[in-house]
Amino acid sequence: MKIDWSRNETLVALVILGFCVAAAVSDPGFLSISTLTDLLRGGIVLGIFAVAALIVLISGGIDVSFTAVAAFTMYVTAMILNAAAPWMPWWAALGFGMGVGACLGAFNGVLIAFFGLPTLIVTLGTMSIFRGTMLTFIGQKQITTLPPGMRDFGRMMLLRGENADGSFYSLHGAFAVTVLVVILTWAILHHTMLGRQIFAIGGSSESARRIGINVRQVQFFVYIYVGALAGLAGIIHASMARVANPFDLVGLELSVIAAVVLGGARLAGGHGTLTGTILGVALIVLVRNSLIVLGIPSTWQSVTIGCLILIGTGLPAWQAKRAAARAA
Amino acid sequence: MPALQRILSTTEGRLAVIAFGVFIAMALLSPDKFLSVQNLTSMAFQFPEFAILALAMTITMLTGGIDLSVVGIANMTAIIAALILTNVTGSGDGWAVLALALCVSMVVGMLAGLFNGILIAKLGLPPILATLGSGLIFTGIAIAMTGGSAVMGFPVATAWIGNSTVLGIPTPVIVFALLALGVSLVLTRTGFGIKLRMFGTNPLAARYAAVNIDAMLIKVYIFSGALAATSGMVVMSRANSAKADYGSSYLLLAVLIAVLGGVNPYGGYGRVIGVILAVLSMQFLSSGMNMLQVSNFARELIWGSLLIFVMIMNTWRARRA
Amino acid sequence: MPDALVTLDGVTKTYSGITALDSVSLSIVAGEAVCLAGENGSGKSTLIKILAGVEQPDRGKISFSGQTQGPLNPRISAAAGIKVIFQDFSLFPNLSVAENIAFSAEIGAGARLYRRARIRDLAAHTLQRIGVDIPLDVAVESLSVAHKQLVAICRALATEARLIIMDEPTTALTEREVRVLLGIIRRLKADGVAVLFVSHKLAEVLEVCEHVVVLRNGQKVAEGPATEFDAALLTRHMTGRDVAATPPAPLPANAAVLMTVENLNKEGACADVSFTLHAGEVLGISGLLGSGRTALAKALFGLVAPDRGTITLNGKRIPTGNPLAAAEAGIGYVPEDRLTEGLFLTQSILQNIAIGRLDAHSNAMGVLDLPALMGGARDWLKRLSVKTANPDDPVRSLSGGNQQRVVLARWMARSPRVLVLNGPSVGVDVGSKSEIHGIIADLAAQGLGVILISDDLPEVLATCHRVLVMKSGRITEEFDARAVSETELAHRLAS
């Protein structure tokens, strides 16, 4: 197979590989199942968020409200289910969360698709609205007793085992959900006309309008879908943490977008791959979890991520600038 | 009433009405508390730090860019200043050390802005990504220097910037007023100010009109970095400490104020007076709500709603026109 | 008589007070090719957008096959078989050739799933139908202009097309490619497809047309069988006057050399271009779209960095690839696309002129002498007789001709020595056009060197002393403008 060196995916994959080699050299214990399961665990919520952010970027927009949607959803769902429907099984709780998230996403969708407001400003505003509404009218205290459905889900494991040194490793069941989300999104993006229309409006929304694509409808779908994914991620986060803390998650949005952009999605829209997104998430999780293995203190984490973003977006930007100068 | 209509036809006019309306409403709802000297002074000490960040955001937005690193720069420079203030021993009240700390942090802020400017102008990164990344780096440096804990114990003189009054007026307000005046003059009376607005309107046309775009962009981000550093100094002095993760909600607030103040996020239009009116509306709202015992979080809700409301109004008017 | 395929009856459209189409009626029958001729700004584009369902008319009736239509949208028009090939092609740069071709077909068919094999088949089949070979899987952004146009044509043909509207179809094509296009059109007509050519230069396509309609300032001013029209008559109807091409007086033999360009080379754009420009001379450079004429213009002004070659002005070498240095040396550039490259649309008329003089009117601190700056800009408005109620209004409130004068004023205020004008009268009304030509003549009379880059041959012949013909990046021929006819020049350009 020919390797395309100009793609972000290649670059990120190489950095991951380099990181792993360096980590394995400095600590042979790095290459273990428990490192892998830790990384996978770290990628569950981040991965779903990243898929959501990817779709918005492909459609030519940007969404910074998805973490607020997730926090709102997990808190409100935990509260409602505790009060009104404790019998709800785990899968129904996840579905309920997706519904709540989709409603909040629809709110973004109306403002963006029907009022035609700029996406960054809208989602900045709704982020404050969602968070403010939750903290003002619903509550600020952690919910430590989750509804039974979410508790059950929180205990679900795909596999567990014991390491040679007696410590345990496990892979949470929610990982399967993330995999399903990736597969579903892949199917939508690459095997439905709706998905192709998302790429099309990101490439040129005026051209899309001219050939009869209902741009508003497609945008509306994008923000609802993103809302639903964010809601799902929120429920998973609370279930895994076994507590619904309304102050969690918010603040993560820029790192998520950074991961997606590292993976090659373009802010201008129309470009982005799931492979790249997964690699971007993997790199961010790796830096968060394992920087210490390389002998870099964890206080340097955000410097490292910042540098990765600048290199990951700077190289292609610089290449594009040089190519533009060459092309006349 | 044609006079009223004329006021309402501009973004700034509508904002002035909003700011005035909020002030009256709060004064009526809670006259003894809202209009008390104590409340007015406390408001005057609160708003300058994020208002200065909003000025920085405004000049970058005028070029069609954005500076997401302002809070990172503010905190990094505040920590550097704080480390100087706590580690360099001066004589007397520490005025000399304070001057040194201010100079160093201002230079650092401008260097940070230069870094952003080079990324954006020379390497062609989109401003949103360049400053997102550099913001993480600046915050990261602040964390790495302190391990995440607060730096405290400054010489007495430090309090002068953020915690004193001159002729009865709080120093932060004077600092903000001078900066606002300065930014306003730069934007309207210098070639640089006109160029950056023209660039924000149409970057391609600016290039074709032989505007030195790279130099202009680099200057814009240096300017923004210097403003962010100033804000960092005010925060440090008022809080009498410096911390790497201080004021993270200010980033959103700064963007919000700029947009609320009528600055076009795509570039090309924005006036300092609009930003000032937006700052005042926000401050009246949040203090008033404080008086009325509304939770802090309700402010966030109201800010967000106000932003969306104003955007809908602006788009709606633009569409009708 | 069978019902016409498409009938417009008294269609009127105004944009914020300006009448773009004024009660236009028109009908097209199946298998017929119609020429819709008109200058830029005559209402052609509006008519296309209305037929495509992108814009709604204010008044008037539209019927398809005798059936009166309600409000149109792009889907209804497409379903009725009306396919528009827009001048900018309206393709998706990020998607593959196959997807671009088959996209609207799949949307029209109401497909929910993306059927890759089917899409590739349809695309391959359509490409085959017009006899061209373009790889199916490359992204459209990497194609040449001519290939993009072919993809756009294929997209129109991919579904049942009954009327194909082509907006400015020949600007990017060589004569050979135009012949290929005409062959395709003949085949389509034989299949009963109607074609509406919309253009300001239609001489090439007249031979395949049955019917001609001419628009001017939003009104239909002439209509008739194609046999009754020739290029000259079309021009007369489009412009409303006999454009008597009066070339400028010959240049004095002793005119000094002002600028020398030697071996200017840019891989893939222009190849070893050399020429000289004299003081007081208007030098035309003409070529098809994609001939390298715009790349050359940009290279002269430093917007494109050449691989090698030199530009010398008054004996001094000018650093290449640097617009600031070019402007500093006294070269000005009026770009091709006024709206995206020339103007700051939402900013005031005065500021649009003043931007060129900011550095001249600021002190060491960068503070502007605003009265002097704006006073100077006002003077230029007067000198170029820009018609405006208020110079503080945004520049987008001006008409095309006045906007172009604003861009000219910006450069003239800097007292340049060489002005490069790229398509200076594109999209301006006829009156302004001749006034702009007058301005060009004045500039030359003052001793400036003017380089006029244009494919508007009557304009080139009416304003230039010499004409250089450009083809695939090379200067292939040079003519004395007084010694060459328009037809001859047109042939040299496209052969």
Average pLDDT over residues C433-462: 86
Take residue A328 and report the two structure tokens written for it: 């006349």
- Whole-angstrom distance, CA of residue C283 vs CA of residue C469: 11
3-state secondary structure of C266: strand
Tokens describing residue B263: 């600055």
Cα C181 from Cα C130, distance rounded (Å): 9
pLDDT of residue A1: 47
What average pLDDT does range B73-102 have in this prediction?
A: 84
**Mean per-residue pLDDT, A121-147:** 88
Higher-confidence position of C232 and B176: B176
Per-position DSSP letters for B257-296, written without gaps between them: HHHHTT--TTSS---HHHHHHHHHHHHHHHHHHHHTT--H
Give partners of C (≥3 CB pairs < 8 A). Answer: A, B
> Of A222 and A211, which is predicted with more confidence?
A222
Residues of A in contact with B295 (CB under 8 A): 135-136, 140
Residue C251: per-residue pLDDT: 79
Cross-chain Cβ contact A125/B140 below 8 Å: no
CA distance A71 to A134: 9
CA neighbor of A230 nearest in space, from A79, A74, A114, A75: A74
Please tell me the predicted confidence (pLDDT) of residue C43.
81
Which of the residue ranges A54-58, B307-311, C107-111, C240-244 would you say has the lowest mean pLDDT? C240-244
- Are C355 and B209 inside 8 Å of each other by CB? yes
Q: List the beta bridge partners of residue C197.
A: C35, C166
Average pLDDT over residues B292-307: 79
| H or E element at residue A319 | helix A301-327
Report yes or no on A26 lying in a domain. Answer: no
Count of CA atoms in the C-beta half-sphere (13 A) of B228: 39
Mean pLDDT of chain B: 86
Q: Indicate yes or no: CB of B194 within 8 angstroms of CB of C355.
A: yes
More confident residue, A181 or C485: A181
pLDDT score for B90: 62
Rounded to whole angstroms, the Cα distance separating C437 from C458 reads 11
Are C114 and A270 inside 8 Å of each other by CB?
A: no
Q: Does B239 touch chain A (CB under 8 A)?
A: no
> What is the secondary structure of B121-170 as a DSSP string?
IIS---HHHHHHHHHHHHHHHHHHHHTTPPEE---GGGHHHHH-EETTEE
Residues 6+ away with beta carbon under 8 Å from A19: A283, A286, A287, A290, A294
Instruction: Considering only the beta carbons, identify the residue of A193, A209, A325 that sits closest to C113.
Output: A193
* Model confidence pLDDT, tens digit, residues C273-307: 889 999 889 999 988 777 888 888 888 898 888 88
The tokens describing C106, both together, are: 């799949």
Give C205's DSSP letter.
Answer: G
pLDDT category at C173 given cuts 50, 70, 90 is: low
**Chain A residue with the nearest C-alpha to that of C294:** A328
Closest Cβ–Cβ partner in C301, C340, C351 for B204: C340
- Which among A109-113, A161-165, B34-38 has the top mean pLDDT? A109-113
Domain C6-239: homologous superfamily in CATH: P-loop containing nucleotide triphosphate hydrolases (3.40.50.300)
Q: How large is the average pLDDT for residues C167-182?
A: 73
Residue with the two structure tokens 């085949």 = C187
Nearest chain A residue to B314, by CA: A117
Structural domain harbouring A221: 31-249
**Least confident interval from B46-60, B159-173, C443-457:** B159-173
DSSP A90-111: HHHHHHHHHHHHHHHHHHHHII
Q: Which of C149, C82, C155, C79 is nearest to C119 (CA)?
A: C155
**Residues from chain B contacting residue C370 (CB–CB below 8 Å):** 189
Residue C203 pLDDT level (bands cut at 50, 70, 90): low
Report the alpha-carbon distance of residue A204 to residue C148 in Å, rounded: 15
- Identity (one letter) of the amino acid at C71? P
Q: What is residue C36's DSSP assignment?
A: E
A-B Cβ pairs (cutoff 8 Å, strict):
148
Q: Which two tokens stand for residue C117?
A: 């094999």
Q: What is the pLDDT of residue C342?
A: 87
Partner-chain contact C410 B208, CB within 8 Å: no
Over residues A315-326, the pLDDT tens digits come to 878 877 777 777
Q: Would the CB atoms of A211 and C78 count as touching at under 8 Å?
A: yes
Is a pLDDT exceeding 90 seen at residue A178?
Answer: yes
pLDDT of A129: 92
How many whole angstroms separate alpha carbon A318 and alpha carbon A320?
5
Identify whether A193 is part of a domain: yes
- Confidence label for C242 from pLDDT (cuts 50, 70 and 90): low
Give the pLDDT of residue B57.
94
| B308 sits in which H/E element | helix B296-320
From B171's Cα to the closest Cα of chain A, the distance in A is 30
The structure tokens listed for A134 are 């939750």
Q: Residue A166: which residues within 8 A CB-CB, separation 6 or more?
A: none
Query: Cα separation of A224 and C116, whole Å?
Result: 27
How far is A266 from chain C, CA to nearest CA, in Å?
11
Alpha helices in A2-59 (DSSP H): 8-26, 33-58
Structure tokens at C195: 């074609």
Q: Which of A64, A121, A292 to mutate to test the interface with B (most CBs of B within 10 A)?
A: A121
Measured CA to CA, the distance from residue A35 to residue A42 in angstroms comes to 11
Return the residue of A nearest to B116 by Cα. Answer: A310
Amino acid at position C193, single letter: V
| B13 has a pLDDT exceeding 70 | yes
Structure confidence at residue C16 (pLDDT): 65
Q: What is the ipTM of this complex?
A: 0.85
- More confidently predicted of A260 and C172: A260
Task: For A268, name the nearest residue in chain C, comparing CA atoms only.
Answer: C94
* Domain covering C257-494 assigned CATH 3.50.7.10 in the classification: no
Instruction: Find the range with the poorest average confidence among A113-122, A213-222, B1-10.
Output: B1-10
Residue A45 has pLDDT above 90, yes or no: yes
Residue C174: predicted pLDDT:
67
Q: What is the pLDDT of residue C13?
A: 87
Domains of chain B: 46-312 (1.10.3470)
- For A58-70, write each residue's pLDDT tens digit: 999 999 899 999 9
B211 to chain C, minimum CA–CA distance in Å? Answer: 7
Give residue B107's pLDDT.
95
Q: Going by DSSP bridges, is the β-strand pair C282-287/C449-453 parallel, antiparallel, or unpaired?
A: parallel
For residue A101, give the nearest of A63, A157, A152 by alpha carbon: A63
Share of chain C above pLDDT 70, in %: 94
* Cα distance between the two ends of chain B: 19
Q: Which of B126, B295, B315 sits opposite A267 (nearest CB)?
A: B126
In the block, tokens 């007397």 appear at B92
CA–CA distance, A100 with A113 (Å, rounded to integer): 20
What b-and-e string marks burial along C284-316, b requiring 16 or more CB atoms within 10 Å of the CB? Answer: bbbbbbbbbbbbbbbbbbbbbebeebebbbeee
Cβ separation of B269 and C346 shorter than 8 Å?
A: yes
Computed from CA positions of residues C205, C208, C212, C213, in that sequence, does the dihedral angle turn out positive or negative?
negative
Averaged pLDDT for residues A168-192: 91
- Token readout for C82 is 């009306």
Q: What is the pLDDT of residues C52-107, one digit of tens each?
A: 888 888 888 888 888 888 888 888 888 888 888 887 788 898 899 999 998 888 88
Mean pLDDT across chain A, nearest whole number? 88
CA distances in angstroms from A88 to A83, A100, A146, A152, C367, listed in the order given: 11, 15, 12, 11, 69
Which of A6, A188, A210 would best serve as a mutation to test chain C binding (most C beta carbons within 10 A)? A210
Mean pLDDT of B257-262: 87
**Inter-axis angle of helices A148-155 and A215-241, nearest 10:** 80
How would residue A232 be classed by pLDDT, with cut points 50, 70 and 90? very high
**pLDDT tens-place string over residues C122-171:** 899 888 877 778 888 888 888 877 788 888 888 888 888 888 898 877 76
Please give the order of strands across the beta sheet that includes C466-471: C331-334, C418-422, C449-453, C282-287, C466-471, C474-480
Taking only Cα atoms into account, the Rg of chain B, rounded to an integer number of angstroms, comes to: 20
| Contact assignment for B308 to A317 by CB distance below 8 Å | no
The residue assigned the tokens 């830790």 is: A38
The answer to whether residues B239 and B161 touch, using CB atoms and an 8 Å cutoff, is no
Note whether B126 contacts A: Cβ–Cβ < 8 A. yes
Return the domain boundaries, chain C. 6-239, 257-494
Contacts of B268 in chain C (CB under 8 A): 344, 346-347
Q: Look up residue C94 and give its DSSP letter.
A: T
CA angle B165, B168, B172 (to 5 degrees): 40
The type of residue at C449 is G
Residue C17 has pLDDT above 70, yes or no: no
Average pLDDT of span A200-227: 91
Top pLDDT among B42 and B227 is at: B227
Question: Which DSSP string do the residues of C134-146 spell out, in sequence order?
Answer: --SSSBGGGS-HH
State the pLDDT confidence band at C1, using cuts at 50, 70 and 90. very low
Give the count of domains, chain A: 1
For residue range A303-314, what is the model confidence (pLDDT) as tens digits? 888 888 888 788
Q: Which residues contact B83 (CB under 8 A, 6 or more apart)?
A: B145, B146, B151
Whether C6-239 and C257-494 share one fold: the answer is yes
Residues of B with CB under 8 A from a CB of C: 189-192, 194-195, 197-198, 201-202, 204-212, 268-269
